[in-house]
A and B are shown apart, each in its own frame.
Chain A
Amino acid sequence: MVRLITHNLLACHAKNCTQTKGFPLAFNDVRVETKEAEFNADFLKSFYERKIDWDALVGAAKQLGDTSLPLERPEMVDDDFLQLLHHVLLEIHVEEGEMICPNCKHVYKIRDGIPNMLLAEHEIG
């Protein structure tokens, strides 16, 4: 399951990207499925405050065809906003496709909902 919550935590780790951000990875050629998930306001709130890179999330959602999020990171976290966040972070699944590093252009494949991020010996930093 590559959901946007996980995508938001993945960065390129190939040799040429050890000193750069290599983030966010760009989606390409994806097949997406939407699956309902159970809502948990406390989890979303603390994850949002602690860990989410907002620009990366907005950009990635847009690549998957979802433009529901505001461009500016909201300060006010109300229930409507949490519902939006819930859907974008947890209910959109990338089943097939690839993620491309913005820096070195390394391509990471996603198959059966699982990203393969293994590097060959000569690609390890």
Chain B
Amino acid sequence: MIPTPDTSHLTNADFEHVYEPAEDTFILLDALEADAERLRALTPRIAMEIGSGSGCVSAFLGAVLGSTTCLYLSTDINPHAALCTLKTGGQNKVPLEPVVTSLIGPFAKRLHRAVDVLIFNPPYVPTEDEEMTDAQAGRAIEGSWAGGKQGMLVTERVLCGLDEILSEKGLFYLVAVKDNDVPSIRRRMDEEYGFESDIVLQRRAGREHLFVIRFSRKASPS
């Protein structure tokens, strides 16, 4: 059992501005733990979490892989989240490197097909598109959930760019809910972009049916 990262340094005041670890966070931790052997076997050198929020997931990945074996980059559009991520890294002795930006922003050029482990627990709740746009522009806690049509508008941008980001053997872990239409995401990633996928875990939590999907490049036929 790898313990859940310590977030006792974060207060209720922090969680007024930053997404507090919840069921979606915990299923992602459980999926990373279930995949620990696979992750270690990859000897990843560059990990990136998009939307790191409290930093709980990146700190957990650091506990799975070890604090010195890999560079732990993360991004969030919410400056308060980046600060919490930095502190959570310190609290759990994993050097986390948060950057305030949208998606992979300023890393895109230098990390072309170089990210070994990519993680995203996105704003996946279906909302009006306008609510999603406002939330993205607001850079505050609303950006943690508002996902626009089918809850997919932010996730979609990452899926489209995945081929540019992920290294040859890289793994991408994505949290999704039933409303996002998981079978269609997986089919499209396979047919249009050449990524195979597995559902690492799924569970029902309250009203949500949560999934963690793992994507990797299909072995090219030789």
**Which residues of A are interface residues toward B (Cβ below 8 A)?**
1-3, 5-6, 8-13, 21-23, 37-40, 42-43, 46-47, 50-51, 53, 90, 108, 112-119, 121
Main secondary structure of the interface of A (DSSP, over half): loop
- Please indicate the chain A residues that have their CB under 8 angstroms from the CB of B107 in the complex: 9-11
- Please indicate the chain B residues that have their CB under 8 angstroms from the CB of A1 in the complex: 86, 89, 95-97
**Which residues of B are interface residues toward A (Cβ below 8 A)?**
43, 45-46, 67-71, 73, 77, 79, 82-83, 86, 89, 95-102, 105-111, 114, 137, 139
CA distance A65 to B106 in the complex (A): 25
Within the complex, which residue of B69, B77, B100, B105 is in contact with A13, where a contact is CB–CB below 8 Å?
A: B105
- Please indicate the chain B residues that have their CB under 8 angstroms from the CB of A21 in the complex: 109
CA distance A65 to B205 in the complex (A): 53
- Contact (Cβ within 8 A) B86 A118: no
CA distance A110 to B137 in the complex (A): 20
Given the interface pairs A51-B46, A118-B139, the reply to whether A10 lies near B86 with Cβ below 8 Å is no
Given the interface pairs A1-B86, A47-B45, A50-B45, the reply to whether A117 lies near B69 with Cβ below 8 Å is no
Q: Please give the distance in Å from A3's CB to the nearest CB on chain B.
A: 7
- Please indicate the chain A residues that have their CB under 8 angstroms from the CB of B139 in the complex: 118
Q: Please give the distance in Å from A49's CB to the nearest CB on chain B.
A: 10
